[in-house]
């Protein structure tokens, strides 16, 4: 029996994540019958490829979703709030990459390897939220450990690449490198300080409790996806002079002891994540090796000797792919295969 094909709209098609969504949909051979590209008025008429053909970008309006089955949003939270309800009203299911709906109680927040069963709750609002990229990379490692030993507490420090702040931020890092090599002053615009040869312990706005919004996302989203409001997550998110892929140093305390060998066994058996952990051979995950792929990698797995039932590890993933575009496409794949065939 042939698969049903779907009309898919990409809202924010000309942005970095939008263009990567298109690429991943094509790579994974998603069953698209018709592809529609939507963006702001200044991009109307621009041509983007789809399976070798050129498609003109249309304006993102509330009337643009007629006949659309799946609308994938990567246009920013404000645009999602404005246009996603119109897409739902027109009959589409929305997969939203922004933070706009993530903590809404009637909107499922999904990483398919972690909580694919929640996708069925899309019927409540017609929207499925894609989690924060940093949370996705961490929870890929937490899920098999939590299922085995029930995690009570997480302390995580992230080392987030410039691509997480957009194409202009990546260019700023490269521009500063060129300027430094030429002996010129470093121009600063994308970040509050130079990112070259520097670390900036500040991602997103600060909140009243001293944490940033990015850090609180890791706390709130982890609890929602693992269906466990007892888990405590304390995060420090840091911007580093890396182009692509986020890295995270994670410490957990669990109710049941998880030995390093058991952790390697559990993570190795989980989907979408692999162990790269051979310190004697200097083998551990690094962003330079992980960038461009969909798999997350875990290394430096060791018992935390400072406390009972403590475990420490290092996890790395490409935040533009698994942390954004690929995860959204995986959600759409489950939707198409299990919920929208009728």
What are 12's two structure tokens?
Answer: 């924010």
State the pLDDT at residue 291. 97
Residue 148 lies in a domain: yes
- Helix/strand/coil (H/E/C) assignment for every residue in the chain: CCCCCEEEEEECCCCHHHHHHHHHHHHCCCCEEEEEEEECHHHCCCEEEECCEEEECEECCCCCCCCCCEEEECCCHHHHHHHHHHHHHCCCEEEECCCCCCCCCCCCECCHHHHHHHHHHHHHCCEEECCCHHHHHHHHHHHHHHHHHCEEEEEEEEEECHHHHCHHHHHHHHHHHHHHHHCCCCCCCCCCCCCCCCCECCCCCECCCCCEHHHHHHHHHHHHHCCCCCCEEEEEEEECCCCCCEEEEEEEEECCCCCHHHHHHHHHHCCCEEECCEHHHCECCCHHHHCCCCCEEEEEEEECCCCCCEEEEEEEECCCHHHHHHHHHHHHHHHHHHHCCC
Catalytic residue among 146, 219, 237, 246: 246
Q: What is the band of 75 on the pLDDT scale with cuts at 50, 70, 90? A: confident
Residue 256 pLDDT level (bands cut at 50, 70, 90):
very high
**What CATH number is associated with residue 29?**
3.40.50.720
Catalytic-role residue among 133, 219, 237, 296 = 133
pLDDT of 2 above 80 = no
Do residues 158 and 122 both lie within one domain? no
Whether 204 is in a domain gets the answer yes
Distances 145 to 27, 251, 334 between C-alpha atoms, Å: 31, 12, 24
Is 46 inside any structural domain?
Answer: yes
> Within this chain, do residues 162 and 200 fall inside the same structural domain, yes or no?
yes
Q: Residue 293 belongs to what domain range?
A: 134-318
Question: In the prediction, which pLDDT does 181 show?
Answer: 98
Instruction: Looking at the structure, tell me whether residues 290 and 330 fall in a common domain.
Output: no
pLDDT exceeds cutoff 80 at 31: yes
Residue 258 inside a domain? The answer is yes
Task: Give how many domains the chain has, as a whole number.
Answer: 2
What pLDDT, on the 0 to 100 scale, is given for residue 1?
Answer: 39
Same-domain status, 214 and 283: yes
CA distances from 319 to 6, 41, 286, 290, 326 (A): 27, 28, 13, 10, 9
Tell whether 174 and 289 lie within a shared domain: yes
Residue at 16 is within a domain: yes
Write out pLDDT tens, residues 107-132: 999 999 999 999 999 999 999 999 99
pLDDT at 341: 87
**pLDDT given at position 323:** 97
Indicate whether 298 and 253 sit together in one domain.
yes
10 and 44, same domain (yes or no): yes
Both tokens of residue 149?
């030993």
Output the six-digit token pair for 163.
């691509």
**Residue 250 near residue 314, CB atoms below 8 Å:** yes
- Please work out, in degrees rounded to the nearest 5, the angle formed at the alpha carbon of residue 22 by the alpha carbons of 215 and 66: 100
Please check whether residues 169 and 308 belong to one and the same domain: yes
200 CB-side CA count, 13 A: 21
C-alpha span between 115 and 135 (Å, rounded): 13
Q: Tell whether the model's pLDDT for residue 189 goes beyond 90.
A: yes
Residue 241 has pLDDT above 50, yes or no: yes
d(CA 61, CA 109): 25
1 assigned to some structural domain: no
Predicted structure pTM score = 0.96
Whether 207 maps to a domain, the answer reads: yes
Predicted confidence at residue 212, as pLDDT, reads 98
133 is annotated as an active-site residue: yes
Is residue 68 domain-shared with residue 148, that is, in the same domain? no
Q: pLDDT for 275-321, tens place per residue?
A: 999 999 999 999 999 999 999 999 999 999 999 999 999 999 999 99
Q: Please state the φ and ψ torsions of residue 180, each to the nearest 5 degrees.
A: -60, -45
How high is the mean pLDDT of the chain? 97
For the chain, state the CA radius of gyration: 20
Q: Are residues 144 and 251 in the same domain?
A: yes
- Establish if 25 belongs to a structural domain: yes
Give the percent of the chain with pLDDT over 90.
Answer: 97
Q: Are residues 261 and 166 in the same domain?
A: yes
Q: Higher pLDDT residue, 104 or 342?
A: 104
Tell me how far apart the alpha carbons of residues 316 and 247 are, in angstroms, rounded to a whole number. Answer: 4
Co-location of 206 and 62 in the same domain:
no
335 in Cβ contact with 128 (< 8 Å)? yes
CATH number of the domain enclosing 311: 3.30.360.10
Residue 229: which residues within 8 A CB-CB, separation 6 or more?
223
| 244 contacts 291 by C-beta, under 8 angstroms | yes
């Amino acid at each position: 029996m042939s698969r049903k094909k779907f009309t898919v709209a990409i809202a924010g098609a000309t942005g970095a994540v939008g263009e990567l969504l298109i690429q991943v949909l094509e790579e994974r051979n998603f069953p698209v019958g018709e592809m529609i590209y939507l963006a702001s008025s200044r991009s109307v008429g621009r041509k983007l490829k789809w399976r070798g053909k050129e498609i003109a970008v249309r304006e993102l309006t509330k009337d643009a979703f007629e006949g659309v089955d799946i609308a994938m949003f990567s246009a920013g939270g404000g645009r999602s709030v404005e246009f996603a309800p119109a897409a739902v009203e027109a009959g589409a299911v929305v997969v939203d990459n922004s933070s706009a709906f993530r903590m809404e109680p009637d909107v499922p927040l999904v990483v398919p390897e972690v909580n694919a069963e929640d996708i069925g709750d899309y019927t409540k609002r017609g929207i499925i939220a894609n989690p924060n990229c940093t949370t996705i990379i961490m929870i890929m490692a937490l899920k098999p450990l939590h299922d085995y030993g029930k995690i009570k507490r997480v302390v995580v420090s992230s080392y987030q690449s410039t691509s997480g702040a957009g194409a202009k931020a990546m260019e700023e890092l490269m521009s500063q490198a060129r300027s430094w090599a030429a002996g010129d002053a470093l121009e600063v615009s994308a970040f509050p300080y130079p990112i070259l040869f520097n670390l900036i312990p500040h991602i997103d706005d600060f909140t009243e409790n001293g944490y940033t919004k990015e850090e609180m996302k890791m706390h709130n989203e982890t609890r929602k996806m693992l269906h466990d409001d007892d888990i405590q997550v304390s995060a420090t998110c840091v911007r580093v002079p890396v182009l692509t892929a986020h890295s995270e140093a994670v410490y957990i305390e669990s109710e049941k002891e998880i030995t390093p060998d058991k952790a390697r066994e559990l993570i190795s058996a989980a989907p979408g994540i692999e162990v790269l952990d051979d310190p004697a051979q200097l083998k551990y995950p690094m962003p330079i090796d992980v960038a461009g792929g969909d798999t997350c990698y875990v290394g430096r797995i060791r018992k935390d000797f400072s406390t009972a039932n403590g475990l420490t590890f290092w996890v790395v993933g490409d935040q533009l792919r698994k942390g954004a575009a690929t995860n959204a496409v995986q959600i759409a794949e489950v939707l198409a295969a299990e919920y929208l065939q009728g």
